[in-house]
Structure 1
Amino acid sequence: MIRLDPATASPAPPPIVPVWAFAAGGAPSDADAAFQAGAALASLDTLARAQPAWAGAWRQRLALKCAAASMRLAGRAEDEAALRDAWQLCPAGADPGPAGAIFGAWRQLALQPSPVSADRLAKVAEMLGLAWDDEALADLCTHIEDLAGSRRPAPFAAAAIAARVVAMRPDAELLAWWLADLVLARGLRWPRPLPLLMAQAFGPAFRGEAGGKRIRPGEKGFERAVCLALVKAAAEACRLAVELSRRAEKLLAVAPKLRAKGAGDVIFM
């Protein structure tokens, strides 16, 4: 019979982003956008630090969403199902292909702590299909540490690193979004990053008031767009957590009745 830790089996309900954090009555000012992002991230903060039984699945779903959005940026056609297959059906140690490698980069972001090194960035860049020289990667690491040591609010630090990457390499926008989430997590002192912003890169937050050309990292209005995107990303992440929490409750309810060898491992996968 499987025995469960009561704290794990009956976690507190996941938080949700308050309705007032969403813009109403037209486009918010820069200050309003920053305030709304702060409120949304405060709701998400509890989840980012918690370790419920479903946390791993939640993080991997967020990574999958960002990987799917990455396909559009990379000019590829794979959707979430194709990405999942490319990763899960790939034999251990084998090449998962370009799409699977990009998904792997987002999984790494979600599952590993946020400290960076030139070696780590080189591996991530390779997974994203980019080739960078050591000096440029070392410069990025220094800039990340400078941002971490500054008092710049986390959303603005995330926007700054994305802009820096695209200024260095206009073709490296995938890495820009990857690092934006990493720098955001460092600024908020989360134990591990959450893949958030890439999934919003083609959304309304980055289309401006008239819904025109997409706002890219470093362009006018990008910081404000990042704040608005984080409100939507946090709300979606919280809703996903609620969904997975409810599913987990159903599984955990039957777990004590399971006696088959390895059943507990299956429940917590």
Structure 2
Amino acid sequence: MTFARPDPLSDQPSLPRMPDWITSARAETLEDVAFLSGAALSHLHLVLGHEEVPQALLRDRLALHAAEACMAFSGRPVRAGELRDAVHLLRPGDLPGPAGETYLAWRRAAERPVSIKALGRALPAFEPGQIATWLDVGKGAPVTRAAMALEAVLREAPRAEVAGLILADAALAQALGWDHLVPLLATGLKRADLRKQGDDLRFACHRALIASAVEAVRLSTDLARRAAHLKAVAPKLRAKASGEAVEMFLTCDAIAPSALPLPDRAARRLCDRLVDLGAVRELTGRDTFRLYGV
């Protein structure tokens, strides 16, 4: 007789699920879709308030998805694995290329509290005054402010989709009272939506945020379980600086062993040990130049 292998994540506490009526309802008017996006964002706000959610890790994972969406908007689709390689395998003096720059912009925008300085670091091609003007252009409800910020950026700089979407998410975060930008809009919008204006763009943003909030809640639940398991197995690790390494895994989407505060061989052993314990995953499928993440 054989028994199923126990799932180390199955007994972890779960977060409240997104109500089914939010995703199943059909929204044909701006008022209907605004109501549903408000409900979805309200539920996401509730989930993000749970201490079990690894906030920095969630934002970094969502930044990866946003960068992937932006590359598709540009007509040069790049998969998540390629984006990770473009950033995490950079050597001193190397340039990340367009894909890496896009991913770095999203990561920088999401890793620090929303401010003109932080956004300027993520978008160095634009002046702080210009960023401030775009960020403050929106009035009214949170999604309306986000849509107006996106429209303002693309009106002045039609090819600045990354900047527009980052500033739209920043405007949304400020309106919702979130300290950090949470990358949401890019993954829910379609390329054609970026050419819309006024009510059409607001409708598209509401619709996009319903889908993105649902996915963010699902990802929050998954990462909360994985983070809880990583914390549970951490006492079993004997390597020096393993505690610091665990904290890095709890904040970053992907990590190369060379980035850990350990000698190369010890870092690789630690990563292999964490994989054996089911606490992290090897993300590349390669024998060399590997990356690991929760």
Instruction: Report TM bin, short chain.
Output: 0.7 to 0.9
Deviation per CA, 1:15-67, whole angstroms, max 9, x where unpaired?
Answer: 3321111253x433211211111111111113445554732221111000000
| Structure 2 unaligned spans of 5+ | 1-10, 250-294
Match of 1:186 in 2: 174
Where structure 1 has 5 or more consecutive residues not aligned to the other structure, the ranges are 1-9, 207-212
Counterpart of 2:233 in structure 1 is: 254
Q: Deviations over 1:78-132 (max 9, x none)?
A: 2100000110001256421211111000001211111115x943x5445xxxx55
- For 1:124 and 1:110, locate their aligned partners in 2 and report how far apart those are by CA, in whole Å: 9
TM-score (norm 2): 0.72
Corresponding pairs, count: 238
Change (3 A) 1:125 1:217: farther
8 Å contact 2:70–2:161 — kept in the other structure? no
**What are the superposed Cα offsets for residues 210-269 of structure 1, whole Å, 9 maximum, x if unpaired?**
xxx546342552111211111110110110111112222222222223332122223232
Tell me the distance in 2 between the aligned counterparts of 1:217 and 1:16. Answer: 32
Query: Which residue identity does 1:166 align to in structure 2?
Result: L
Alignment of 1:65-84 (within 5 A): 65-84=65-84
| Higher mean C-alpha displacement, 166-175 vs 192-201 | 166-175
Q: Which residue matches 1:39?
A: 39
Q: Tell me: CA distance 1:146–1:215, structure 2 relative to 1, closer, same or farther (3 Å).
A: closer
Query: Which entry has the higher C-alpha Rg, 1 or 2?
Result: 2
Amino acid at match of 2:161: E
Shift of 1:200: 1.4
Partner of 1:21: 22
Q: Distance in 1 between matches of 2:160 and 2:90?
A: 26
Kept in 2: contact 1:66–1:195 (CA 8 A): yes
Q: Secondary structure at 2:222's aligned position in 1?
A: helix
Q: How is 1:1-269 mapped onto 2 (pairs within 5 angstroms)?
A: 13-24=14-25, 26-49=26-49, 52=52, 54-92=54-92, 94-117=94-117, 120-121=119-120, 123-126=121-124, 131-132=125-126, 134=127, 138-145=129-136, 147=138, 150=139, 152-202=140-190, 214=193, 216-218=195-197, 220-268=199-247, 269=249
* Residues in 2 aligned to 1:81 and 1:95: alpha-carbon distance in whole angstroms: 18
Task: Give the aligned CA root-mean-square deviation in angstroms.
Answer: 2.6
Letter in 1 for 2:63: A
Query: Structure 1 counterpart of 2:18, which letter?
Result: V
Q: In the TM superposition, what is the alpha-carbon distance from 1:73 to its structure 2 partner?
A: 1.4
Q: Is the alpha carbon distance of 1:249 and 1:143 closer, same or farther for their aligned partners in structure 2, counting shifts above 3 Å?
A: closer
Q: Secondary structure at the match of 1:17?
A: coil
| Higher RCO by CA contacts (8 Å cutoff, separation 6 or greater) | 1
Is the 1:67–1:102 contact (alpha carbons within 8 Å) kept by the matching residues of 2? yes
Q: Deviations over 1:154-186 (max 9, x none)?
A: 011000111111111222222111111010000
